[in-house]
Amino acid sequence: MTEKATFGAGCFWGVEETFRLTPGVIETSVGYAGGHTEDPSYKDVCTDRTGHAEVVQIEYDPAKVTYPELLNIFWTSHDPTQVNRQGPDVGTQYRTVIFYHSPEQERAARASKAEMEASGKFRRPIATEIVPAPEFWRAEEYHQQYLAKRGLSHCHI
């Protein structure tokens, strides 16, 4: 039986590639979540007016990779102290967010965030939101596995 996880950590291309290559991850999809517009397009989301975050939704086998392991990848794949940006990308669509799908995921996410805050790894407070998973809107096909299709392993950040 598989489970779902949804993370926003800036531009979804690099985040997807990181998770896609993780053993135990069965499928990744990039898209939009957390906004107020039905079925937004990339162009809509880029206006910074729909409220959506760029996210990666992951289907994974919890017998091969645990949710806490996915959280560790999330924390190390971006700067969770930046508000509404990652590197040169600025806007609410680039916010750091964990969308949980169950009470167990919520507990794990909050505990993981507290551990990261206590670790002293970051000089600034962690800005990551932890909120219930809303409807996920799959991004246009050209965004799916964008880096892999181009033979790249990471973005500019």
Residues annotated as catalytic are: 11
Among residues 35, 21, 22, 28, the alpha carbon closest in space to that of 7 is found at 28
The sheet with strand 129-132 has its strands ordered as 129-132, 96-100, 3-9, 53-60, 25-33, 136-138
Report the distance separating Cα 42 and Cα 143, nearest Å. 9
